[in-house]
Structure 1
Amino acid sequence: MKASEPPPASLWHDRDFRRLWIGQTASQLGAQAGQVVLPLIAVIALGAGTQQVGILRAVQQAPILLLSLFVGAWVDRRRSRDVMVLADVGRTVVLVVVPVAHLLGLLDMPLLVLVAFLVGVLSVYFDVAYQASLVRLVRRGRLAQGNSALEGSRSAAQIAGPALGGALVSLLTAPIAILASAFFFALSFLSIRRIRRPESMPGPAVRRVRMWRQIHEGLHLIVSNPLLRAVGISSALFQFSFAALMTIYLLFLPRTLHLPGAAVGLVLAAMGPGALVGSLLSARLPTRYGYGVVLVSAALLADGVMLCVPALRGSSAGTIAALMAVNLLFGVFSQLVDVTITTVRQAITPIPIQGRVVATINFVGMGLTPLGSLLGGYLAGALGLRTSLLVTAVTLALSPLFMAQSPLARLGKDLPGIAGDPDG
């Protein structure tokens, strides 16, 4: 945005932000539907066991660990919208392979694992790029509003994505249902490619800097900054435990509670309305009660409600209603934490290295998710689904307990600014 141009009265009056929002919303719909459908393809269409499902989820998450640091430095050298467009095209093409292979009788676990890995690789590129893109599109003072809007769309996707995926699995079979994800990735491509605001590119001197040096700069900032370090560690503790829990949860619903595919989608979709509420609350509660208070209390409440799930039995309407209530509350509190901690991270990170910091936080915070998924698959086989679900639900409390002892808990109603930032 040129210095002479006044900022729009609202982000919703900003045409390029709306295009980013529409594209990100479509991408999240595709991702949320795929997160339900890909494991259900393995479980329902291919008869996969507990460890195979764990491996499938781990392979899809492995690119976060393998590529995040490289992708962060790479995105900082390029236009974020170009990265998002290419990632959307790639995911669309890769997912179309699944129904084609199914119709030809060629679909098996190795092919499904390969598809999951490639989608995971391209999702790393998209996720880093869209978070860096927001900072390049809006002023620092509008980050909370921008994050609230984007996370609100992610919440809406959590309503529609799993429900759509589960319904299509019941109506069309799982391998065909994955076409819904491909469609939404294509829609994301069509919207994001229309963003017109120029993005400043780093000068030749910056591009000549070796990528490993740029990666080191991102790592050094996070290690040396107490707040960013706490963000990374608390994210890692949560994502590791949550990956293990979700691997078991996706098996627990159809195999222990004997819920049909449509009911599984409905239960998972209940997180969406709660997450939408959490996104709306994130624009108000931190500035009213303090960022630290909101982060710690919401994280404890989010993790606590999941302890109710292992006690549920049967597939009655009461069980489904209880699962939906748990997921609704989990959605409210976990989304409140997610948006709030994202706003903290963006506010204290210099704009030129946003991509690297996003990627490094993803690397630290989500890099352990493949191990968490493998652990979930192992525990499910060793302890049984109900016991292992209880164990992993308990471990979710590690993240808020750490946050309570970290500098994050001491944050007040105003965030610290970036040195030299004119908006700070």
Structure 2
Amino acid sequence: MSEALLKGLLRRHRDFRLLWSGETANGFGTAVTRMAMPLIAVTALNASTFQVSLLAAVGWLPWLLIGLPVGVWVDRLRSRPIMQTASAVSLVLFATVPVAAWLGLLTMAQLVLVALGTGAASVFFQTACTAYLPALLGPADRAEGNAKLHGSASAAQIVGLGGGGLLTQLAGPANGLFANTVTFLVSLCCTGRIEHREPAPARGGRRAIGREIAEGLRLVAGDVWFRTLTVFGAVSNLALTGYQSILVVFLVREVGVTPGLVGVLVALASTGGIVGAAVARRVAARTGTARAMLLFELGLPLLALLIPLTSGGAGLLLYVVGSFGVTAGVVAGNVIKSTFQQRYCPPELLGRLSASCAVLNYGSIPVGALTGGLLATALGIRTAMWITTAGVPLAALILWGSPLRRLRDLPEGTAARPTTVREPVPVAG
């Protein structure tokens, strides 16, 4: 069947369209938050550079705290109700920020708690969504489905980041977050209208949650492909979050950009995500999935070294070009990686694989955020930007040193299920 026909069929897939719309709305709300929260901290609460980086860190901390058991729960439960509950929790938590601002009660402590709570909801939503897509789409459609989800996530990020900065400037620091109550409500309604119902997961043979967590970890540690991609993701996120956590402070205080223009600049740079999602499958088909991963994760991120050179006027283009390259490479690499993992992982372990990888990948994000803040405090913001952006292309040397470099394509087939530890058999007395 032709690629054009497959695309048309996927667009007519009602349940996928609803999932796609819900995920896009969720991504828009998250992007508004990513821009509005640090701007609220800087402009309304006069937060320090370290406090802003702390705010970025706590939003990702739940991956370290609950990511592994969430993977087991997703494998044990239906994914769609989990996504609905997570959207509802995020809606309520984000609504508390403008309410507190209207009452004159908004504090840095509340922003930290909201970031922590919505971060926990995101753990459930993202893990469940990753496990739900293969149940909704056949193997032939998953690459296109992943490309559409990643592409729309990038588009939502563009609008959300730009809108977050403009809303903060026009409507006031806290009122910009009111948009999130609408976007998460849309996400909740879309997932609620999906007609596909997952079969109830089998209850027989369930073991202690610790044993099931260990099985997911053994799958990642024992397979060279899962291991390589996970370690690379963790190191890459360490560098990415290191500079992103201080980016708003860098642009506002070091370069002299207004909050509204910060959103516009970040939105322009984020168009790289749409480009990356659009070209990922085509480049992978032409050059091979393994070679495409190296191109997207090592070649394009070299442009990150332009970001610390950013200055006023025409010098703002250095940030746009550098961040565009990083975003395009990351999103394109994620499209290839997601499709590979959904195909290569045993289906009954997909939730645990997603959570195990995410704990290590996202678990490095709070460390990177705090590192960026500490470096900026100790060495200055621009010096910290040089150190953290240099780490983005350096992280890809992990891929270069792996078997990936010697192959054209990532392997076909399915990974071997890890050997499980047998429960002791009671002996009759």
Q: Name which of 330, 333, 358 aligns with 1:362.
A: 358
Q: Which residue identity is paired with 1:359?
A: A
Quote how far apart the aligned CAs of 1:384 are. 0.2
Quote how far apart the aligned CAs of 1:274 are. 1.5
Q: What's the counterpart of residue 385 of structure 1?
A: 381
Determine if contact 2:161/2:264 at 8 Å carries over to the other structure.
yes
Secondary structure of the structure 1 residue equivalent to 2:60: helix
371-380 vs 295-304, which moves further: 295-304
Does residue 18 (structure 1) correspond to residue 17 (structure 2)? The answer is yes
Cα distance between partner residues in 2 of 1:409 and 1:29: 36
Quote how far apart the aligned CAs of 1:330 are. 2.4
Secondary structure of the structure 1 residue equivalent to 2:195: coil
1:269-316 CA-partner distances (Å, limit 9, x unpaired)? 1233211111011121112101111111221233211111111222x2
Q: Name which of 242, 250, 253 aligns with 2:251.
A: 253
Cα distance between partner residues in 2 of 1:131 and 1:166: 29
Determine if contact 1:274/1:331 at 8 Å carries over to the other structure.
yes
1:53-73 CA-partner distances (Å, limit 9, x unpaired)? 111111111001111111111
Cα distance between partner residues in 1 of 2:356 and 2:416: 23
Determine if contact 2:131/2:351 at 8 Å carries over to the other structure.
yes
Q: In 2 relative to 1, CA 415–281 (structure 1 residues): closer, same or farther, beyond 3 Å?
A: farther
1:359-416 CA-partner distances (Å, limit 9, x unpaired)? 1110111111111111111000000000010011111123211101113334434641
Q: What's the counterpart of residue 147 of structure 1?
A: 146
Determine if contact 2:290/2:407 at 8 Å carries over to the other structure.
yes
Cα distance between partner residues in 1 of 2:73 and 2:269: 33
Q: What's the counterpart of residue 92 of structure 1?
A: 91
For structure 1, list consecutive stretches of 5 or more residues without a partner in the other structure: 1-6
Quote how far apart the aligned CAs of 1:340 are. 1.3
Identical columns (%): 34
Cα distance between partner residues in 2 of 1:210 and 1:65: 20
Does residue 40 (structure 1) correspond to residue 39 (structure 2)? The answer is yes
Q: What's the counterpart of residue 329 of structure 1?
A: 325
Quote how far apart the aligned CAs of 1:320 are. 2.9
Determine if contact 1:22/1:191 at 8 Å carries over to the other structure.
yes
Cα distance between partner residues in 1 of 2:272 and 2:56: 24
RMSD: 1.7
367-376 vs 334-343, which moves further: 334-343
Cα distance between partner residues in 2 of 1:361 and 1:113: 25
Q: Which residue identity is paired with 1:294?
A: A
Cα distance between partner residues in 2 of 1:300 and 1:228: 18
Q: What's the counterpart of residue 65 of structure 1?
A: 64
Does residue 404 (structure 1) correspond to residue 403 (structure 2)? The answer is no
Q: What's the counterpart of residue 390 of structure 2?
A: 394
Cα distance between partner residues in 2 of 1:163 and 1:9: 31
Q: What's the counterpart of residue 275 of structure 1?
A: 273
1:215-253 CA-partner distances (Å, limit 9, x unpaired)? 111111111110000011000010111111111222101
Cα distance between partner residues in 1 of 2:406 and 2:52: 40
Q: Which residue identity is paired with 2:193?
A: R
Secondary structure of the structure 1 residue equivalent to 2:174: helix
Does residue 175 (structure 1) correspond to residue 171 (structure 2)? The answer is no
1:65-121 CA-partner distances (Å, limit 9, x unpaired)? 111111111111111110100000000000000000001011011111101100101
Q: In 2 relative to 1, CA 359–13 (structure 1 residues): closer, same or farther, beyond 3 Å?
A: same
Q: What's the counterpart of residue 134 of structure 1?
A: 133
Cα distance between partner residues in 1 of 2:150 and 2:407: 21
Q: Which residue identity is paired with 1:128?
A: T
Q: Which residue identity is paired with 1:64?
A: W
Determine if contact 2:297/2:333 at 8 Å carries over to the other structure.
yes
Determine if contact 2:304/2:326 at 8 Å carries over to the other structure.
yes
Q: What's the counterpart of residue 214 of structure 2?
A: 216
Cα distance between partner residues in 2 of 1:114 and 1:341: 32
Secondary structure of the structure 2 residue equivalent to 1:417: coil
1:104-158 CA-partner distances (Å, limit 9, x unpaired)? 0110111111011001010111111111111111112222111001001111112
Does residue 347 (structure 1) correspond to residue 343 (structure 2)? The answer is yes
Q: In 2 relative to 1, CA 382–212 (structure 1 residues): closer, same or farther, beyond 3 Å?
A: same
Cα distance between partner residues in 2 of 1:167 and 1:228: 40
Cα distance between partner residues in 2 of 1:215 and 1:173: 44
Cα distance between partner residues in 2 of 1:157 and 1:378: 30
Q: What's the counterpart of residue 423 of structure 2?
A: none
TM-score for the superposition, normalised by structure 1: 0.94
Q: What's the counterpart of residue 3 of structure 1?
A: none
Secondary structure of the structure 1 residue equivalent to 2:396: helix
Q: Which residue identity is paired with 1:13?
A: R
Secondary structure of the structure 2 residue equivalent to 1:418: coil
Q: Which residue identity is paired with 1:328?
A: F
Q: In 2 relative to 1, CA 65–302 (structure 1 residues): closer, same or farther, beyond 3 Å?
A: farther
Q: How does 1:235-246 map to 2 (within 5 A)?
A: 235-246=233-244
Q: Which residue identity is paired with 1:297?
A: L
Secondary structure of the structure 2 residue equivalent to 1:412: coil
Secondary structure of the structure 2 residue equivalent to 1:178: helix
Q: Which residue identity is paired with 1:15?
A: R
Q: Which residue identity is paired with 1:397?
A: P
Determine if contact 2:345/2:415 at 8 Å carries over to the other structure.
no
Off by >2 Å, runs of 4+ in structure 1? 319-331, 407-415
1:25-50 CA-partner distances (Å, limit 9, x unpaired)? 10001111111111111111100001
Cα distance between partner residues in 1 of 2:151 and 2:8: 20
Secondary structure of the structure 1 residue equivalent to 2:260: helix
Cα distance between partner residues in 1 of 2:174 and 2:329: 33
Cα distance between partner residues in 2 of 1:275 and 1:12: 20
